[in-house]
Every structure is written in structure tokens, then in C-alpha cells.
Chain A
Amino acid sequence: MHELSIAQEILSIVKASLPEPDSKVTAIRLKIGQLSGVLVDSLKFSFEAITSQTEFENSKLEVIEIPIKIKCNDCSKVSIISEPIFLCPECNSFNVQLLEGRELEIVEIEIEDNKEEK
């Protein structure tokens, strides 16, 4: 439900990162963790909705999904877990720390080179 406001935040960060105000953005690469609470399809839908008929109409959201990675504080083993049960698969300890999975970041944007000057 909050994907719309996240889409708006993404757009405002992208706008602020452009080298020229009229740079044409072809792709926006995001890192989204499995525990970030963001539904990727819904985010893409929201982004399309707010950019429709604007200069960002053809900017694609490319999402790198980050799985949940934990490190066991007892046996030091680093594991990727598919279910968010924070249990070390090696030694069954619950004493684990979350290394990755909460990401919600803009990694980079791709822009078209200004071939012909206006």
C-alpha cells in the first residue's frame, strides 16, 4: 500500500541525481531486500502510474532482489535463508544477525547520451 509513496521518493531522488535537468533516464536500478516490505510488482505499477505521460515515461525500474542473509553468532556461518525464520541452518541457533535483506536503495540510473544537441 505504501509503494506509491516509495515510487514518489524514488522519482524525486532520481530527479535530483540527473546531470542535466532534461537528461533522459532509460533505467533506474534498485536493490530491494526480501524483508523490506515492498512488493516489487506494486512498486513498478505505482511508478508507471506516476510517470505516465511525463519525461520519465520510458524509464524502467530494474529491481535486484536481495535475499535474507544471516550470520550465526555462535558458529559464524553465513547463510541465505528462504523463510524469514532466523535460525542458523548449520547449528540451529537463533542467535543470528541480519546481514542483508532490508535494502531499499537506488543503486544507479542509466541515461541516454546527448548525441544531438538541441
Chain B
Amino acid sequence: MSVITVERKVLEKNDQIAQKNREKFKSKNLFVMNFVSSPGSGKTSLIEKTIEHSQGKIKIAVIEGDVQTSLDAERVNKFNVPVVQIVTNGGCHLEANLVRDAYQNIENENFEVLIIENVGNLVCPSNYDLGEDIKVVILSTTEGDDKPLKYPAMFRNASVLIINKIDLIPYVNCNLEEMKKNALSINPELKIFEVSCKTNQGIDEWVNWISDRIKG
């Protein structure tokens, strides 16, 4: 019996491609955000609102990841921004090579912010670096205030937490203060925005924050 030392990261191939993506994005001066959340928290709605409220201020492009259909890309397409749909055909997360290939389709378009909408899933996407600058985790008030404690890896790796559907607070069993406390106990550095894609509450503040990132 002999032992061979390997000492290699299982996802090293993905990490290497992600690093190449990151270098490419950097060379193009792009600010790249990876939107992650459970299904139905409002990722696509937030993208729509972000584009709508940043028109004339920020040029945005979108890579949409879904298990099936190009419905999300069609929604974003109405805003006349560069958009590519990735269909994972059952895959529960996006991987760096999928983003690399999708990006080639919009590489020559004129934009400064790239939003990658990951597959709705709070587990697997936390393992796969795509080459983004930051992960933005979206959590809606209907999902309950204990979500951050149940999916710590995702909240630990994110830089921004968007609490969506804030207008539903009077009708749902969600303690907003508790939700924020739980999120900050996993990651005290999280920048938190409270928004409603229905009433537009908080959207401008969020858009201004993005705008400050690209100026800096």
C-alpha cells in the first residue's frame, strides 16, 4: 500500500477559470455582482428595478442563470440592455466556465456593471466562484427571519444583503430586526438594504450605492 499526496482543491478548475474571468472583468473596468437567493425572493425583479432606476446613470448588462426557460432574459430584454441567458438544464448553480462563455456574447457591448443572476438556491452557489467582485444575497420578508442561520455559508460570503418585499412586513410573520441581527451574526460586515420592488422603497439608495462603487 502506498500513499500519494495530492493536496488539491476539489474545485480548483472552477477557481482557475473564475480567476481568469476576474482578470478580464478588471481589465474592462467592470463592477460584477453575483445575485444569489432562494427561488422567488425577487432577484429578477430587483434587476429590473435596478436597471429602471439607474437609466442615464449606470450602464448595466445581465447574465441570467436558470434551470429552464429564457423567461428571465425576456423580462430583462425589455429594458434594452445587453442580456444573455444561461440554461443549466437541471444544474443547481452557475459555474465559472458558463459565465466565461456567456460573457463572450456581450463582451463588445458598452456597459460598466455586470449583474449575474445565479440559479435560485442558497446552498450550492456559495461554493462556486464566478469571478465576481461581490456576492449580493437577496432575502425576502416572506422567507422568515431565521434564513441567515440556516444558510450561513452564503451569508458569510456575501458583501451585501438586500431584504426585499419590505412592504409585506405588516402581513407576514417576519421580525425585521431579528432578520438583520441573524444576518449580522453570520457576517458583521454585511451592507444591508431594505427594499420593495413593488413600491420602489429603498431602490434609489441601492442604485446610488452601486453608482458610488463604479466611481470609486
Interface positions of A (Cβ within 8 A of B): 1-2, 5-6, 9-10, 13-14, 17-19, 26, 30, 35-38, 84-87, 94-95, 98, 102, 104-113
Contact = CB atoms under 8 A, between A and B. Distances in A.
Contact of B4 (A6, A37, A104, A108): A108
B142 to A, nearest CB: 23
Given A1-B124, A37-B153, A84-B152, A105 B184 contact: no
A6 B186 contact: no
A108 B5 CA distance: 4
Contacts of A95: 188
Contacts of B185: 85-87, 94
Interface of B: 1-13, 91-93, 121, 123-124, 126-127, 149, 152-153, 156, 184-188
A35 B10 contact: no
Contacts of A84: 149, 152-153, 156, 186
The 9 residue pairs across chains A and B that have the minimum distance between CB atoms = A84-B152, A2-B124, A1-B92, A94-B188, A106-B6, A104-B10, A35-B153, A85-B185, A37-B153
A3 to B, nearest CB: 9
Nearest to B124: A2
A6 B186 CA distance: 25
B102 to A, nearest CB: 18
B187 A107 contact: no
A113 B2 contact: yes
B149 to A, nearest CB: 7
A95 B187 CA distance: 9
Which of B4, B12, B92, B187 counts the most chain A CB atoms within 10 A?
Answer: B4
Given A37-B123, A86-B187, A94-B184, A13 B152 contact: no
B50 to A, nearest CB: 27
Contact of B8 (A18, A35, A86, A105): A105
21 contacts: A5-B91, A9-B10, A9-B11, A13-B8, A17-B8, A30-B10, A37-B124, A37-B126, A84-B149, A85-B149, A86-B188, A98-B156, A104-B9, A107-B5, A107-B6, A108-B3, A108-B5, A108-B7, A109-B3, A110-B1, A113-B2
Max chain B CB contacts within 10 Å: which of A10, A13, A110?
A13
B156 A35 contact: yes
A30 B149 CA distance: 26
Given A17-B4, A111-B4, 12 more contacts: A2-B124, A9-B11, A35-B153, A37-B126, A38-B127, A84-B149, A85-B149, A86-B188, A102-B153, A106-B7, A107-B6, A109-B3
